[in-house]
A and B are shown apart, each in its own frame.
Chain A
Amino acid sequence: MTIEGTVWKYGDNVDTDVIIPARYLNVSTPEELARHCMEDIDAEFAGAVQPGDIIVAGENFGCGSSREHAPLAIKGAGVACVVARSFARIFYRNSINVGLPILECPEAVEETEKGDRLTVDLEAGIITNLRTGRIYRTSPFPAFIMEIIQAGGLVPYTRKRLEEQSGYRSAMVRPDE
């Protein structure tokens, strides 16, 4: 799966309170959340972002709250991929779980500017900057995480396992039920 999109560039420590401010946490659909995505640091973003665009950011992207509303808002805004120097761990898990592709690639972040066009080959972990022609390779996901991604997220992955495995610790397989 290859993505091509325009870059929105941000700095270090973009926290979940600016990705989606808590005052909007009384709703939870990606479409509603997307309207306010990034608004406290970039008022232009929510109105101008196009489907397939790519967020490129510095260290510790998604730090702070565990709110899954953050990757949902980004996904709902149409962003196809986030490339960062590093991710906060809860955000990292949440993105995989909800099917928002994310890649750690400090070199690509260093040399990418707002408005650049990037292509991202998720399976091969290759990022190409179409402005500079530079090509970057990232570490692939561990096999276990690739399985979750290939299943379409944690819920379909788990559903499949629950159907397959009778020994899984679950209410479904309790002997008294």
Chain B
Amino acid sequence: MGHTLAEKIIAAHVAGGEGDDAEVWPGDLVEVAVDVVLSNDITAPIAIREFEKLGVERVFDPDRVVMVADHFAPNKDIKSAEQCACMRRFARAQGLLHYFDVGRMGIEHVLLPEQGLVVPGDVVVGADSHTCTYGALGAFATGQGSTDIAVAMATGCIWMRVPETIRVVYHGQLQPWVGGKDLILYTIGQIGVSGALYKAIEFAGPVVDGLSMAGRFTMANMAIEAGGKAGLFAVDETTRAYLASLQVASLQVASLQEASLQVASLQVASGQVGRLADLQTRTLADLLPDDDAAYAQVIEIDVGEIEPQVAFPHLPENVRPVSQAGDVRIDQVVIGSCTNGRLEDLRVAAEVLRGRRVHPDVRCIVIPGSQQVYLDALREGLIEAFVEAGAAVSTPTCGPCLGGHMGVLAAGERAVSTTNRNFRGRMGHPESEVYLVGPAVAAASAVAGRIAHPRDL
């Protein structure tokens, strides 16, 4: 019997099992070597505190321990400044090669792929639940707590239970204005917020084959909102084209051939190896699920009837088609986040907002997911479109998504947001409300002053 993509990646990382013959099955408790260990300004301070209790002087590899000041940065208050300072001191003392501060940073799950720090076949652990985003690249990536991350920073290893996998297969023709966000919201609506508890999700089928990397990142990002441990996509031409497009020294890839990801097909910039060395050890066959893999469940979804989706408060599973949203008046719109803060998302929002005005009762906040996204959006004229429409544009930050800063809600206020959680009090006051949508509906709602489908503007 064959293996799912999650099982294959984990098997290739079983610590001590250097050979190719390691095989793992769901339920096995294994120790695996990790390729990248991530934390942020909220979770790193606890991880650092626990790291210091381990009696270890140095992190296992300063090239693989990544820290990003993105949640409450630029510092929102003195306590947040202290947390960022704690992380900065540690990063400098340890000589971390990938520490990102204000002006260079982005929202971590937008930033790391863009920087070429995650490559297909990786095992990535991060002290952030949305670490599962990297599954879009065919990596096994999962969120953990700070103590797990402390141990991973010290040892380069973690223990894990090999998860069962649910395969979700999408067929049919997408309607206009329907994207990755709508597909994942619809899926969570179908299986519920604990529908994939302890499990990996494999996204498959002709619809996701045709989906851009941005759409795939959005879907993998929200695997955790169904309780999933990871959300993965098989590597294909879209993945290869994305990697090849990255303008980073650690991963200068001229072309990635159909048959193999091995060295002959790659051109490495002189003296720059970085993550490419890892990629060279993996073949395409390692990055696809086996045809005879065993799944806990296979779910088939016909996308033809799926409208843009809205998740009502206070759970991501409370999903309705936008046409059934009713008359929901809103106070704020947030467009951005690790879910929908990529260039493609901003293009969709700008397409709706260009030549229109944000409703007078609405504060519309647009947050590019990284400095590169910001710069690209600026050069394409998207930022100009947002400002002309009456939206505020912010430097990259997670801020409003978790009620930190840059758009906290008052009692009774409602926000439409392209973020990933609408739990009670998530964006501010416990009596406020968050409605989750994709960038098209977010932008249309900003114009209409209520939840709206872009075709109805």
- Checking B15, B43, B57, B428 against A171 with a beta-carbon cut-off of 8 angstroms, the contacting residue is B57
B315→A13 contact, CB < 8 A: yes
Residues on A with beta carbons closer than 8 Å to the beta carbon of B227: 60, 63, 88-89
Q: Does any Cβ of A come within 8 Å of B201's Cβ?
A: no
- Checking B42, B45, B57, B156 against A169 with a beta-carbon cut-off of 8 angstroms, the contacting residue is B156
Q: Which of B297-305, B323-331, B418-426 contacts A (4 or more CB under 8 A)?
A: B418-426
A17→B147 contact, CB < 8 A: no
For this complex, 16 residue pairs linking A to B, each with C-beta atoms less than 8 Å apart, are A13-B194, A17-B402, A17-B426, A23-B428, A64-B224, A65-B402, A68-B127, A71-B145, A88-B197, A162-B155, A168-B157, A169-B33, A170-B156, A171-B58, A171-B59, A171-B154
Closest chain B residue, CB of each to CB of A94: B145
CA separation between A167 and B56, bound complex, in Å? 15
Q: A17-B425, A142-B29, A171-B60 are in contact. Are A25 and B147 (CB under 8 A)?
A: no
Interface residues of A (CB under 8 A from B): 13, 15, 17-18, 21-23, 25-28, 39-41, 59-60, 63-69, 71-72, 86, 88-90, 93-94, 97-98, 142, 144, 153-155, 158-159, 162-163, 167-172, 177
- Checking A17, A86, A88, A155 against B50 with a beta-carbon cut-off of 8 angstroms, the contacting residue is A155
B334 to chain A, nearest CB (A): 14
Interface string of B53-91 (1 = CB under 8 A from A): 111111111000000000110001101100100000000
B147→A60 contact, CB < 8 A: no
A64→B423 contact, CB < 8 A: yes
Q: A17-B402, A158-B54 are in contact. Are A65 and B193 (CB under 8 A)?
A: no
19 additional A-B residue pairs with CB within 8 Å, beyond A28-B83, A67-B145 = A15-B421, A17-B402, A23-B404, A25-B72, A28-B46, A28-B49, A40-B425, A41-B424, A60-B193, A60-B227, A65-B421, A66-B143, A67-B42, A89-B229, A155-B54, A169-B156, A170-B56, A170-B60, A171-B60
Closest chain A residue, CB of each to CB of B82: A26
A94→B425 contact, CB < 8 A: no
Residues on A with beta carbons closer than 8 Å to the beta carbon of B33: 169
CA separation between A22 and B408, bound complex, in Å? 11
Q: A63-B193, A68-B46, A171-B58 are in contact. Are A159 and B148 (CB under 8 A)?
A: no
A18 to chain B, nearest CB (A): 6
Residues on B with beta carbons closer than 8 Å to the beta carbon of A168: 155, 157
Q: A13-B315, A17-B426, A21-B425 are in contact. Are A26 and B79 (CB under 8 A)?
A: yes
B397 to chain A, nearest CB (A): 13
Residues on A with beta carbons closer than 8 Å to the beta carbon of B127: 66, 68
B20 to chain A, nearest CB (A): 19
CA separation between A25 and B398, bound complex, in Å? 13
CA separation between A108 and B154, bound complex, in Å? 39
A86→B197 contact, CB < 8 A: yes
Residues on B with beta carbons closer than 8 Å to the beta carbon of A22: 402-404, 426
Please give the number of chain B residues whose Cβ is less than 8 angstroms from any Cβ of chain A in the complex: 63
- Checking A63, A72, A98 against B194 with a beta-carbon cut-off of 8 angstroms, the contacting residue is A63
Q: A25-B42, A68-B46, A89-B197 are in contact. Are A155 and B53 (CB under 8 A)?
A: yes
CA separation between A45 and B185, bound complex, in Å? 33
Interface string of B408-446 (1 = CB under 8 A from A): 100000000000010111101010000000000000000
A172→B145 contact, CB < 8 A: no
Q: A60-B194, A63-B193, A154-B148 are in contact. Are A17 and B423 (CB under 8 A)?
A: yes
Q: A28-B45, A40-B425, A158-B154 are in contact. Are A169 and B146 (CB under 8 A)?
A: no
Q: Does any Cβ of A come within 8 Å of B151's Cβ?
A: yes
A34 to chain B, nearest CB (A): 15
Residues on B with beta carbons closer than 8 Å to the beta carbon of A71: 145
CA separation between A88 and B132, bound complex, in Å? 15
A137 to chain B, nearest CB (A): 21
CA separation between A25 and B77, bound complex, in Å? 12
CA separation between A25 and B150, bound complex, in Å? 18
Residues on B with beta carbons closer than 8 Å to the beta carbon of A65: 128-129, 402, 421
CA separation between A45 and B118, bound complex, in Å? 42
Residues on A with beta carbons closer than 8 Å to the beta carbon of B55: 159, 162-163
Residues on A with beta carbons closer than 8 Å to the beta carbon of B151: 154-155, 158
- Checking A86, A154, A163 against B147 with a beta-carbon cut-off of 8 angstroms, the contacting residue is A154
CA separation between A18 and B402, bound complex, in Å? 12
A172→B144 contact, CB < 8 A: no
Residues on B with beta carbons closer than 8 Å to the beta carbon of A64: 129, 224, 421, 423
Residues on B with beta carbons closer than 8 Å to the beta carbon of A26: 72, 76-77, 79-80, 83
Interface string of B356-390 (1 = CB under 8 A from A): 00000000000000000000000000000000000
Q: Does any Cβ of A come within 8 Å of B159's Cβ?
A: yes
Residues on A with beta carbons closer than 8 Å to the beta carbon of B83: 26, 28
CA separation between A154 and B428, bound complex, in Å? 33
Residues on B with beta carbons closer than 8 Å to the beta carbon of A94: 144-145, 147-148
B425→A159 contact, CB < 8 A: no
Residues on B with beta carbons closer than 8 Å to the beta carbon of A60: 193-194, 197, 227
Q: Does any Cβ of A come within 8 Å of B25's Cβ?
A: no
B42→A27 contact, CB < 8 A: no
Closest chain A residue, CB of each to CB of B150: A155
Closest chain B residue, CB of each to CB of A32: B79
A39 to chain B, nearest CB (A): 8
